[in-house]
Chain A
Amino acid sequence: MAIVNLKDKTIQIKIVYYGPGRSGKTTNLEFIHNKLQQNRNQQISNLVSIDTKGDRTLFFDFFPVSLGKINGFDLKLKLYTTPGQVKYEATRRLVLKGVDGLVFVADSLTSRQDANLESFENLKSNLLYHKQSLSDVKLIFQWNKRDIDEKMIPLSPIEEMERLLNSELKVQSFPASATSGMNVLKTVNYISKETVKSVIEKTILNKHKMGN
């Protein structure tokens, strides 16, 4: 649920990285955070990780980032990951509260295709828990771990992953490698832009909804 503050002229948007355990959600956020720290003069807030001894996500990773101005409003993005492990259902569900944009990080390993599907079904039911559905949020897919050498570990072809997860929705998707950074920034840029666009259309440009 984006927040538009007409006094401070700010828009806050929540983006959540979802997907099965070990698909690379935390690695995505770490890469983005590192890049921002390197590239900017501006102070970047710390990346907060609530995890098990610095490895598997227990609750979420989080950091806020300012994106500059659009239509005179300061844009603030909040990036979150969810825990992918099935057993962390209770905390995973909570992170989705008020989500505006979703990146579904799917694992390209052939052996993880069932886990991708299960996680995607889980996403839908958890949105429902918050009385939301996929049509209320912006969603894109990331086919992660494309850097892996297929001679070593079998990967599913992108077309097959598209068919499995994206054949009905037909939303944007990017092959990526969160460890090397390939398409990681492209993914976050795309979802931010799309989410901001839809929020602005629904709020600032739509005067009827400005009551409250």
Chain B
Amino acid sequence: MNTVIREDTVTKVEKILQDFIEESGATYALITDMGGNPLFTAGEEDFDVDTLAALSAANYATTKEIANLIKEDNFSLLFHRGNNENVHFAKITQDILMIVLFKPFLSLGLLRLKINSLQQKIVSIIGN
């Protein structure tokens, strides 16, 4: 079970992420697999990307287990509000997760709309 990501796939997806960052004003976007490996990134970071991916995948998986436990399908919003930076997690496909960092003055609602349309674009490139 291994995944080989082609060069043009990386280029296309990272272009989409870059455009998203420029349009939305978000700080940073990361797509990781559910095992915690970073796949695609865009934006400025001053932290360890591998660690963010590992912790985010774990965080997402834990939340899903909590949902199962209390017989909830899944929580629709996974989001942490900070003083300086907010984090939003969104499942893109069964196997991948998108993490977006953005400043608290940006609108969460608008950002979520943009993430939704982004999701469809990404799925059309990498498949389900």
Q: Measuring CB to CB, which residues of chain A are less than 8 angstroms from any residue of chain B?
A: 1-8, 12, 14, 45-46, 48, 50, 59-60, 62-64, 76, 78, 80, 90-91, 94-95, 97-99, 132, 136, 199, 202-204, 209-210, 212
A202 interface neighbour in B2, B34, B51, B58, Cβ under 8 Å = B2
A76 to chain B, nearest CB (A): 7
* Shortest Cβ distance from A63 into B: residue: B51
Q: Measuring CB to CB, which residues of chain B are less than 8 angstroms from any residue of chain A?
A: 1-7, 9-11, 33-39, 48, 50-51, 54-55, 57-58, 61-62, 65, 127
Known: A1-B2, A98-B1. 10 other contacts (CB 8 A): A4-B3, A5-B5, A7-B6, A14-B35, A59-B58, A64-B51, A91-B62, A97-B57, A98-B34, A212-B4
Majority SS at the chain A contact face: mixed
* Shortest Cβ distance from A50 into B: residue: B58
Q: Report the Cα distance A12→B53, complex, angstroms.
A: 12
Q: Report the Cα distance A212→B127, complex, angstroms.
A: 8
Q: Report the Cα distance A132→B71, complex, angstroms.
A: 26
B34 to chain A, nearest CB (A): 6
A3 touches B5 (CB 8 A): yes
Q: Report the Cα distance A161→B27, complex, angstroms.
A: 52
Q: Report the Cα distance A151→B15, complex, angstroms.
A: 65
B35 touches A8 (CB 8 A): no
Q: Report the Cα distance A8→B41, complex, angstroms.
A: 12
Q: Report the Cα distance A204→B3, complex, angstroms.
A: 10
A7 interface neighbour in B7, B51, B62, Cβ under 8 Å = B7
Given A4-B3, A48-B54, A132-B1, are A98 and B48 neighbors across the interface (CB < 8 Å)?
A: no
Query: Can you sample 6 A-B contacts with CB below 8 Å?
Result: A3-B2, A7-B11, A46-B48, A59-B58, A97-B61, A136-B1
Q: Report the Cα distance A1→B104, complex, angstroms.
A: 35
A48 touches B62 (CB 8 A): no
A78 touches B36 (CB 8 A): yes
Quick one: which of A46, A64, A91 has the most chain B CB within 10 A?
A: A64
The list of the 7 closest CB pairs from A to B, nearest first, reads A98-B35, A64-B50, A7-B10, A7-B7, A12-B37, A4-B4, A94-B61
* Shortest Cβ distance from A96 into B: residue: B35
Given A5-B10, A98-B37, are A78 and B4 neighbors across the interface (CB < 8 Å)?
A: no
Given A78-B54, A94-B65, are A1 and B3 neighbors across the interface (CB < 8 Å)?
A: yes
A212 touches B3 (CB 8 A): yes
Q: Report the Cα distance A79→B9, complex, angstroms.
A: 27
- Contacting residues, chain A, for B38 (C-beta < 8 A): 12
- Contacting residues, chain A, for B51 (C-beta < 8 A): 45-46, 48, 62-64
* Shortest Cβ distance from A198 into B: residue: B2
A191 to chain B, nearest CB (A): 17
A4 touches B5 (CB 8 A): yes
A4 touches B48 (CB 8 A): no
A14 interface neighbour in B5, B37, B58, B62, Cβ under 8 Å = B37
